[in-house]
Chains A and B, each alone.
Chain A
Amino acid sequence: MDMPRNETRPVSFEEFSTPKHLEKASEQARQRNYQDFLIVDVDSHHYENENYTEVFEYIDSPVLRREAIESGGRTTGFLNTQVGGQNIGGRITRAKGRRIEKVADASRHRDIVMTLDWMNAMGVDYACLFPTPMLFLSAHPVPEIEAAMAQAYNRWLCERVLAHEPRIVSMLYLPFNDPEAAYRTVQEFGGRKGVVGFMVTSPRYKSVHDNAFIKTYSLIEEMGKVLSFHAAYNWDDRALAMTNRFISAHALGFMWFNMVHMTNWVVNGLPERFPKLKVMWIESGLTWAYSLMQRLDHSYMMRTSDCPQLKRKPSEYMREMYFSTQPMEMPEDKSLLEATFKQIKADTQLLWSSDYPHWDFDLPSTIYDLPFLDETAKRNILGGTAAKLFNLDPKPVKRIP
């Protein structure tokens, strides 16, 4: 008879290993048989600033390239930054730890190895990778620099990451403050390997219904790619500047900008003008959509003259769009969450996302363990719907440790 295990180990912050950090996620993956079905993460991140030495070399303008290289990166003047203690005063220990992590396979790009490590640990087959500090580039005062960085990053990502790892895909950064540059971005990168769509970082002050963007939307629609709006906060926003704690700026900011863009998108009839365009709303959680659907429908019944392009209620258009899960609100009363799922038609429109390695990441179990979902709905949300949207092979390819 085997003796029960009795092992003991200290806790050290001097070393870090992603598979070790996520050991309990791997346990969950094995217990829930994730190896049997596809899991796609539609919103995950890397820290592109750790690669700025490489990225800056891709800037077209020799003047901006020199400025970028000489600046030494985002901390010294070329790029803007955003105040905010994402890591809760060091309590999220992987933020420091991952910087000193030694990756097992030095022959591949570090970002690829680290990404595959957490994907396998969680049981993820494919991940859509987004940048981190560049989510705030939308607030850069110089649109020319936003456009130059977007182009450089997109080229770097396509050549150094996406071209070398089929399990990593991306929706590329759209430099939305320069509509012509946004259009050129779709033209240049729409056909590249691993490019499943284009992403607008939400904290910005360009209206999505501006005529300047119409040809870009048309091109994305023609290509069959996804247009996504990735939420973030801007603590310099006049309303958010009244808040004094990160929890407030984050909780409100990540909903606020997507609520504004969604409202403009629907009220100005863009779903009628682009009926085949696949639109996704990322990292705002779910309650904002539940609330906004009801709010807009209520006002619409009295003010149809404000939005004459609409042939149906705003919520009906919203229900045809796609939503990522994280950071998914978990009310004690699960009937509230169930009602939200019903409202947004989660079985076909909701896509699981982790947001890893950020501080508020979600595991696949946030969906898999919900008592009100059947197995088909779980599998759709965790990967089936994303596979259809991104044209991915539905066969699982992960290697859970």
Chain B
Amino acid sequence: MAEWFVAKASEMADGERRIVTAGKRDIGVFCKDGEYFAYSNTCLHQGGPACEGLLIANVVDIVTPDRLYHGQTFGDDMHFVCPWHGYEYDLKTGECMGDRKQKLRRFEVVTRGGDIYVVA
């Protein structure tokens, strides 16, 4: 395993990301709410650039305890979306929202001396 440079922490604002070529690997590194998340940038579906699409909150159907439906809203979970076909992944886990058994490979992110590195 080696550490691969991602960006200077000061240059990566909240909600931003970098796509890192780490040898033969293609990795997406997200900065969100003070945390870093790094995943394989290859979609589990047809191999698209999974980390290069929208970062967007989950959609929720509003169903009250009496089981009635009252429309939709955005929830509190963040997803990133493969721009090829719309496969959505949970930013915190890399799980595919259509089938949580399927996960993108996750990589560790470390910060040192103001620089961000991904371990791969």
A interface with B by C-beta (< 8 Å): 4-11, 21, 23-25, 27-28, 88-94, 359-363, 365-366
Contacts and interface: CB of A to CB of B under 8 A. Distances in A.
Contacts of A21: 49, 83
Given A24-B48, A92-B83, A92-B86, 6 more contacts: A6-B21, A8-B6, A11-B52, A27-B47, A90-B54, A366-B46
Most buried by B among A6, A10, A21, A361: A6
B94 to A, nearest CB: 17
B23 interface: yes
B42 A8 contact: no
Contacts of A90: 54
A5 B21 contact: yes
A94 B83 contact: yes
Contact of B4 (A6, A92, A94, A360): A6
26 contacts: A4-B24, A5-B21, A5-B22, A6-B20, A6-B21, A8-B21, A11-B51, A11-B52, A21-B49, A24-B42, A24-B47, A25-B47, A28-B47, A88-B81, A89-B56, A90-B54, A91-B81, A91-B83, A92-B83, A93-B54, A93-B83, A359-B86, A360-B85, A361-B84, A361-B85, A365-B47
A8 B7 contact: yes
A7 B56 CA distance: 26
Nearest to A10: B18
7 closest Cβ pairs, A-B complex: A4-B23, A93-B83, A7-B21, A91-B81, A88-B86, A91-B86, A8-B18
B46 A362 contact: yes
B74 to A, nearest CB: 10
Nearest to B82: A91
A351 B32 CA distance: 44
Given A91-B53, A93-B53, A362-B46, A7 B20 contact: yes
Contacts, number: 73
A1 B6 CA distance: 23
Interface of B: 2, 4-7, 16-24, 42, 46-49, 51-54, 56, 81, 83-86, 88
A363 B47 CA distance: 9
A17 to B, nearest CB: 12
A254 B61 CA distance: 26
A24 B41 CA distance: 10
Contacts of A94: 83
A30 to B, nearest CB: 13
Contacts of B22: 4-6
B81 to A, nearest CB: 5
B42 to A, nearest CB: 7
Contacts of A365: 46-47
Contacts of B47: 24-25, 27-28, 363, 365
Nearest to A363: B46
Most buried by A among B2, B46, B88: B46
A362 B46 CA distance: 8
Nearest to A90: B54
A12 to B, nearest CB: 10
Nearest to B18: A8
B54 A91 contact: yes
A9 B48 contact: no
A6 to B, nearest CB: 5
Nearest to A358: B85
Contacts of A8: 5-7, 18-21
Given A8-B6, A8-B7, A24-B47, A92 B85 contact: yes
A91 B88 CA distance: 9
Nearest to A7: B21
A4 to B, nearest CB: 4
B58 to A, nearest CB: 12
Contacts of A363: 46-47
B102 to A, nearest CB: 10
Contacts of B83: 21, 91-94
Nearest to B56: A91
Most buried by A among B4, B23, B51, B84: B84
A10 B49 contact: no
Most buried by B among A9, A359, A362, A365: A9
Most buried by A among B7, B23, B51, B52: B52
Nearest to B6: A8
A10 B23 contact: no
A11 B81 contact: no
Contacts of A9: 18-19
